[in-house]
Structure formats: structure tokens, C-alpha cells
Structure 1
């Protein structure tokens, strides 16, 4: 007989009816299975967090500061020496393919009708009865609706008795009152947000002290510099250094000093630089600083002085014996604004007296481009267009310049207010311009799209223009030196000719007097002979 299949046997068992009966309770146990020990059946509350990394510069090791060009250069050099680096890069590049083609018709660099315009969209008024000048403006690095404004009276010993020392942080969406008040010991002349920790602001006071605020801690400063180790004049500029920790800063004042600070200990500065042109560190001969510019990718920083000179200084004072590299001369008054071009850092803008000048680091004798107008008080480059910059004037006018479209005149002239405009700052996001006036009112201006949109081939054209003007100035400088040398050599020859003529005249005069003396002596001898002959004749006649 054949054995039924398991399926048939199972089906046969299913046909029987169930028979239930009572029985004693039995304890059943399931022994642990070693194969299931790694599987956990418990649950916990999981906290989720989204985190990203900016790969524009590339992925760096944790101990490498991507903002420090020297550290990254050393790291790249060390990595490229690895024998497996080249082979790995070549193998990786074989699979590299741009799978995200740009299907739009070059938005952002398209050509458009050039009709520049601007309009005032909002005003932030000083809430105090005694109005003060809006001396410094600083946009929040992340929250583009926040603007920090420093208020002070820059007229020496003319500050009103009831003048407030407060400065404010504004939300431009709420113009009725400031979002936060900063209460310094002395009025703030300059104020800057920290790009590493956006809750922290650094400020320079009229009495020369440096202090920083943490918006999470309230209106009072967290720490102030000691008076005996601070500046002796108002602090006109303070800049954050882009370090890994983000706690280092440096300040400039009209006392002729640039002081470096660490906000973790502000009892005294970490480094000190005296702007002495003779490079002897003498404060009596120091140049007063009223503006300063620092670009993290550059090894030097620039200082604008009261005397109209731009001083180029080494950033790392401890590694050099010559902190002052060179000086640029061309202005006749204080340099109120100094900023590098964000697209071409070797070219920088200065605003002083009646001119705005564009310089090249390679030309120290003169600027490559100059614009003459009424008395200027501040200026800055556009963050989105390399050929556009802004200037504000004593008569309350804002000028917008485009050196490609209209090299000699501003493309837009806008009367903003009746009082003088002392400060200007452009928002990086969309070129929203804010202007601070003498009466403490900050006006926000919206630029037209053509002023906020990069034009086609604009970078290449501006680069060619800067190179052309730099080359022209170098040729003119060479010709000037040749003429100067020729003039100097001719003057030396003239001086040599004068010496020869003087010697000839002296010889002639000496020879003349010698001849005269010889003739006198000859005449005397002849007279003696005659007198002797006469005496002899008389003696003969007498005998």
C-alpha cells in the first residue's frame, strides 16, 4: 500500500470534529533562541535631527578650518603628496557626470533693458527726543529682517546733556519700535554681528572701549575692555576675524592704533599695531585710522587714515618684523569708507573728500579710476554685481554707479533726505540698501531688478577693465619715473656745469690779480731805476 501524501493526511485531520475536555493547569515555557538574541523587542522615544554640511568648498576634516586659507593650503599640499591620491582622483573622475543640466535660459545673467531705479520702502527713526547720527549699520548674517544700528554724536564736545547712549536692533518688518536695546557705557560708533555666533555683536565706543553683547543675555554688555588698555580716541571700525572659534576681533581708532582682541578675555589686547609711517612704533607720529577693511582670503588688511593715506598691513604681526607693507596716497581728507571688491579682492574702493577712487594693489602711486563729485561720507560695493557701487553725500543724496555702463557719471541719483547721509550698508540677499542719516533715521531702499541681477559677461568685462586700467597706470608710472630720472640726471649735469664755471671764474680772477701785481711790481722797479739815473745825473752836474 502506498503512504498518503502529507497534504492529504493534513486534510484528513481537518475533517475530524473538535473534542474539548477539562484538564489540570500546566506551565509551558519557551526556551530562548540564540538566533534571536540580537533582535530587540523594546521601544524608546527617538529624537530626530536634520543636519547638513556645505560642500561648496569641499568636505574637510574636523580639525581643519575651511575659512583659514593657510591651513587649507597646507592640508591640500600634504594630501596631494599621497601616492594613492592621483590614482584615486582619476578613478573617481571617470564616473563624474553632470546629471543636473541647467535647462533655464541663463536666469541671473540674462540681458535686460537697463532702467535703474530705487524707492524708499521703510524708515527706522531714532525713538529718543535728542536725535543722534546713525554711524554704523550691520545686517544679521542669517535673519535678513534684523538690522543693528549704532547711534552716536560725532561732534567733539558738542553732545547734548540729555543725549541717550542706547543703540538698537531693529526688525525691518516692525518699524514702530526696536526689537532690542543695547546699553553701552559710552555711545557706540561702530557695531558688527558675529558670523560664527549670530547672537553676539561687537561694538566700539566713543570713549575708546570695546565691548560685546549676547542677545540671549539682555541689553547690558557681557564684557568691556579695560580703559587703560583701550583706545584713547573713538573706535571708528571693528571687524571680526574669521577664525575657527569666532572669538577674535580687531579695532581701529584715530589714536593711531589697531588693537587685536579675544572676547573671552578683554582685559587687554592680544596684539597691538601702531600706524607709524616710519615703522618705529612711535604713537606721536601715528596716522589716525577712521576706516578698515579685511578679507579673509587675503594675507593683508587695509586701514584708511585721517591724512588720506591707505595703509596696507600684515595680518599676522607675530610672524613678521615689518607689519606695514606699503601706503597708497591720493586723497586730501579722511578716508570714510574702504572696501574690497567682493568679486576681485585685489581692487578696492575708497571714499574721501570729494572723490571715490578704485585702486589696484599693484599700483601704489595713484588710483586706477577716480570720480569727482560733492563731499562724500560713505560708500560700498554691491554684493551681487562687480561693476556697481553706492555712495552717499553730505546733501542727503544716494548715487549708484556702474563703471561698465556709465564710467564718468552715476546711473542713478536719488535724493533720500534733506540732512546728510553718514552710513550705508547693502544686504547680501537681494541688495536692499539701508542709509543712516545725521538725525538718526535709517531709510530702507529697494533697488530695481537690473541693479540686483548679474548681467551677461559682467565679470569678464569688469576683469578686463581693471586689468586695462592697471596696465595703463603702470605705463604712466614708468613714464613718470623715466622723466624724473632724466630730470634728476640733467640737474646733476647742471650742477656739475655750475661748479666748472665757478672754478673757471675763480682761476681767471686769480690770474688777473696775479698779472696786476706783476705789472705793479714792474712799474715800481722801473721807477726805482729812473730815480737812480736821475740822482746820478744830478751828482755829475753838481761836481
Structure 2
């Protein structure tokens, strides 16, 4: 019985009186034959016709029983002794050996075994078992023996709604590996898809017997892995649903966020409409873009994030108002500003680390939150890191090493560790096309997959190669979401056309040995040590620049003190005057003015004027006459 279930018992005497039924023969209606009508009856020649009284069906469904096979063997420590013979008792073994030797077939069997043994001994004598014969073979011969990784399509699930909607969430049931939740959203991926939807005829849904039906196109479903024809449970909503996730500790409850900013709960046992929802005044201002269940005693608490920059903490028992609300402000202060806040795209929580949760923003930053913080500055005190240029798509911890994350966004996939504060990117993977999703394998510690906009599903194994995928599975549509089943045997892939592909993993991709775990742990420790050394080097360079700046200021101040001279000394006074630039400018201006005055004084003007008695004088008359 779940913690949120209550069994109500009632006494038998309160059920009411027992119903008593009896059988009797009673004539309800009788029609006597009419001879007048019989004369009008016309006999018809016999004709053979075929009829089908049952309902005609276009398809039939048969579910075969799964047969379980088991392999048993026997460990021959000393021959094949029967179980009733104790091999440690010498008398019992001797008694059984004599019994076998008295049989007639024993001699023929010994002769046959001697011949086979002799052939094997002769082969060993002909070959030197201590010599390596194939050590000098070229590597090209071994390449033909190598087997490539592969993945096989097990099933495909189509969207019952027309036109098909892209998928935003795939979530496997925590306690039932045959069920998974699929959320289709009515929001188009791009502008071209929106135009195509406007040209599409009137939308319709496929009717399922005994199921609810909605013409809004906001339904989402729970599918059975073995039945792709119709979903097990379908849920309805009057608004567009953006995110939904199972409660990891109680799979009967599903939390989701709507496009209007509201937060709702659905019952996974009954399906249908939502059970409860928060009021509009307590909802987010924009669409709810992230949902994350957290650890609590009642298993009813979860976080939600929105593109308006707010993160709210809810209790499913009381949806009237959130328990706590913070803004994703990169500036650590209690007086947060909504204009500076980043939009929330991803929320991540690990049950083994109940104090911390990770937030991804639409600006490419990672925020580390503390659940014990009472104020916004205490909640986001761990800081934030800018590691992407675009919005962050997915954040997922490694199931074996929970301190290491796989983060996807824009054209990159990065492995990040909490311990690397300054440079959180330990491993980097780039692609030509935008990466939409990424997830770790639940069974192999070094394996993860990424899906991009071109439809390429890449399998990356950090132990085999860090720069190229070990295997690529191509689809005809963009990959929006991918999720491994908890046992790691199957991988669910969501496509942009509304299809869900179930891939069965190769046996080599489903197992992880202790040696692999030790190697990947050493790799993570080596990368973290490298990041710490780089952080230390950066801090050293910053400290050196800071000390150089301080030393420069000190030397300039000391030089300034050394340059102070005695004005009483004529030579030092002259040096003070020559070093003063303002005084130089004033002195030069004064010298220019003095020079102009002296020059003006030195210039002479000669003026020739005649007197009155020289007015009638003619210079030519002064010459003597001949």
C-alpha cells in the first residue's frame, strides 16, 4: 500500500438486504397464425447465400506468451560422478568404479577415448605450445574479424493525433520497465512547420474504445512496450502541456506544466483530465519549461521553472501557492531583478544528493541551487557558470558517477563536474548540426548518446574514443529526445514527426565491467585534476598581474618622491622650472611677445616730405645752361 492510499473498511450488515432472485415461466406475448396472410405468401426458389454475423475488423491482434529459457551446467571437478556418490569418500568411489568396470560397454568406451587422446597428444607434440605464431600478422587481417556495434529497431509508436505533433518528453515508469510516458506538444519547432499546420485540414484524433477523446490535440499517453497499436492510458488537457514527468518514488502521480504557466497533477492510474492545478495568480508569467521532482518525506514536492526567470517550489498536497520562489538572477543579491533574470530551460535533481539541484538557463548558464537556502542569495550561493552560447537542452548525471554531468546545448555536448568551479567543461564534443538531446546509458558507465537536428543518433564511448562516435544510427527526422530504459536494454528515441522508435542495444553496449568503471573513474579524476591545475594557473596569473600593478604604483610613487628637489639650489631650481610643462608654455608665450615688441621697435620708417619753398623747385633747372 502506498503512503497516500487509505483502505476504508465497512461492516457487512451495512451493505443492505440481500437480493433474492427466482425463476418462473411466464407468457409475455403470443401471435396466432392467420390463414388470410398465408395465401399471400409466395414461395421462393432456394438460393445459397453467405452471411457474416460477427463484426468485420481490419486487423487482429495476438499476443504470444513469452517463453523463458534457462541454461544449466555441471562443474566436473573429478570426472562425471553421480550426485549420490561422494567424491571425497575413497571407498564409495572405488566401489562405483569397480561396478562400471564390470559392464561390457566399458571396454569399448575406453578404446575410443584412448584413440582420441592419442590424436590430441600427437598434435601437442607437433606444435610448440610456448611459441607465438601469429604475433607478426598485419593489422589489416584483424580488421576483417572485428565486429561493428549495431542497434536493432524493436518497435515504433505513432502519434494518434493528426497532424502529428513533435515530442518534448519521454519518461520511463520507475517500477514497470514495460511502460513509458510520451508527451506530444502542439508547439511547432519552427516557422515553416507552423505554416504547414495552417494548411493542414481539420485535426482529428483516433478513437480508442473506452478512452476519453479530445479534439484540442493536447492529449499525452502512457504506452506499453509490447503494444504499439493503442496506448494504455491517455490524459487530456484543455491547454497546451509543455513538460510532464513521473514521480520517481510514486509512479501514480505525474506533474506537468502548461503553456499558460500553470502547474498541474495527473493520476496515472485513471488518466483523463488533471486532478488539481494551481490558480492563475500563483502560476508562472510565461510557459512552464521545466519540472523536477525532489526528495521529501511525502514524495509530493517538486520544482518548476519558466522562461520568465522564476523557479517555484511546490507541494502537491496544496497547489494554491508555492512554498518558495526565486528568480534566476546571475547577480547574487536578495533584491533580485526580473529584468536581469535568465529563463529556465532544464531542472535536474539527484536523490542521492538531496541538498543540491541544477538549473539550466536559456542564456547558456548553469546555476547550482541549495535546497536549504532561505533567501535567494543563499539558494544560489554556489554560483553560476556560462558554458554555452545558446539555451541548454538537457542536463543528466552519470548513473555511476553522480558528480559528473552530461550537458547539451547549441552545437556542443560537454561533460561537467561540480568540483571544477572555474572551468566546468572537462570533455567537449562538437558537431556541425545543432544537438537537441543527450542521455547517459544506465548500464554502461562510459556510454552516452546525442541526437541532432539532422536525425543522427550518435553513440559515444569515452573509453574507446573521445573525438568521434563509435556508432551512428540515422533517422529521417530530427531527434528531439532520447531516454534509456532503467535496465539499459532499450533506448526510446523521439522524432520531430511524432514517432517514437524503440531500439534494442547491442550486447556490448549493455554491460560494464569493474575494469571499465575503474578506467572511467581514473579519466574523470584526471580531467578534474587538469581543470584544477588550469584554475590554479589562472589564479596565479591573476595574482601576478595584480602584484605587478601594485608594484608599478609603488615604484611610480617612490619615483615621484625621489624627484622632489630643493628650490633654494639654483641648479635644482632651474631643473624644476624646465620640468614644469605649464611653466614652459607660459615662458615661451612671454618670450614670443617680447620678441615681437623688440622687432617692432627695430623697424624704421622713412618719410620724404617737401617744404613750401621747395614746392616750385624743378630739379632740371639746376643744371647749368650752355
Q: Does 1:380 align with 2:439?
A: yes
- Find the aligned partners of 1:320 and 1:516 in 2 and give their Cα distance: 65
**Match for 1:225 among 272, 278, 283?**
278
Query: What is the aligned counterpart of 1:148 among 157, 181, 193?
Result: 181
Instruction: Give deviations 1:403-430, integer Å, cap 9, x for gaps.
Output: 1111111111110x21111111111123
Is contact 1:115–1:450 with CA below 8 Å preserved after alignment?
A: no
Do the aligned residues in 2 keep the contact of 1:190 with 1:237 (CA within 8 Å)?
yes
**What pairs with 1:356-395 in structure 2 (closer than 5 Å)?**
356-366=413-423, 367-373=425-431, 374-395=433-454
- 8 A contact 2:219–2:236 mirrored in 1: yes
Distance 2:165 2:553 in 1: 61
Give the match for residue 453 of structure 1.
511
Distance in structure 2 (CA, Å) of the matches to 1:368 and 1:288? 25
Which entry has the higher C-alpha Rg, 1 or 2? 2
The number of aligned residues is 420
1:263-322: per-residue Cα shift (whole Å, max 9, x none)? 111112111121111233222211101111111222211111100001111112338851
SS at match of 2:162: coil
Whether the 8 Å contact between 1:130 and 1:164 is mirrored in structure 2 is no
- CA drift at 1:507: 3.6
> Please, what is the CA RMSD of the aligned residues?
3.4
2:186 and 2:218 in contact (8 A); partners too: no
Q: Is 1:345 equivalent to 2:402 in the alignment?
A: yes
Q: Where does residue 47 of structure 2 map in the other structure?
A: none
Question: In the aligned structure 1, how far is the partner of 2:338 from the partner of 2:589?
Answer: 66
Per-residue CA shift, 1:231-277, capped at 9, x if unaligned? 22222221222222211111112111111111111112111121111
8 A contact 1:338–1:351 mirrored in 2: yes
Partner of 2:582: 510
Counterpart position of 1:287: 342
Q: Distance in 2 between matches of 1:505 and 1:430?
A: 86
Partner SS for 1:467:
helix
Instruction: Write the deviation string for residues 330-369 of structure 1: whole angstroms up to 9, x where unpaired.
Output: 2111000001112212211100011000111122333011
1:145 & 1:321 partners in 2: Cα distance? 43
8 A contact 1:401–1:411 mirrored in 2: yes
Match of 1:406 among 465, 483, 502: 465
For 1:157-236, list aligned pairs within 5 A. 158=194, 162=203, 164-236=217-289
Would the alpha carbon gap of residues 228 and 505 (structure 1) be closer, same or farther in structure 2, given more than 3 Å must change?
farther
Contact 1:151 1:187 in 2 (8 A): no
With normalisation by structure 2, the TM-score equals 0.62
State how 1:87-102 maps to structure 2 within 5 Å.
none
Partner of 1:108: none
Greater RCO, CA 8 A, separation 6+: 1
Q: Alignment partner of 2:339: what SS? A: helix
Give CA deviations for 1:143-182 in whole Å, capped at 9, x if unaligned.
Answer: 1111111110334894758450111111111101111110
Contact kept in structure 2, 1:122 and 1:444, CA below 8 Å = yes
Structure 1: unaligned runs, 5 residues or longer = 1-50, 52-102, 105-112, 531-543
1:200-259 per-position Cα deviation (integer Å, ceiling 9, x unaligned): 211122222111111334411111111221122222221222222211111112111111
Q: 1:193 deviation in Å?
A: 1.4
- CA deviations on 1:441-463 (whole Å, 9 max, x unpaired) are 11101110111101341121111
Seen in structure 2, the aligned counterparts of structure 1 residues 321 and 365 have a Cα distance that, compared at 3 Å, is closer
* Alignment CA distance shift 1:495-1:437 (3 Å): farther
**Equivalent position of 2:162 in the other structure:** 129
The match for 1:396 is: 455
Residue-by-residue CA offset, 1:107-138 (whole Å, 9 max, x unaligned): xxxxxx87422121111100111111110011
**1:426 equivalent in structure 2:** 484
Query: TM-score if structure 1 supplies the norm length?
Result: 0.70
Q: Aligned partners of 1:317, 1:508: CA distance in 2, in Å?
A: 61
Gaps of 5+ in 2: 2-73, 76-145, 204-215, 564-575, 603-626
1:510 deviates by 3.1
Q: Secondary structure at the match of 1:483?
A: helix
The alpha-carbon deviation at position 191 of structure 1 amounts to 1.5
1:252 matched to 2:305? The reply is: yes
CA distance in 1, matches of 2:277, 2:596: 99
Secondary structure of 2:520 counterpart? helix
1:505, 1:194 → 2: CA distance?
A: 84
1:336 aligns with 2:393: yes
Aligned to 1:459, the other structure's residue is in SS state: helix
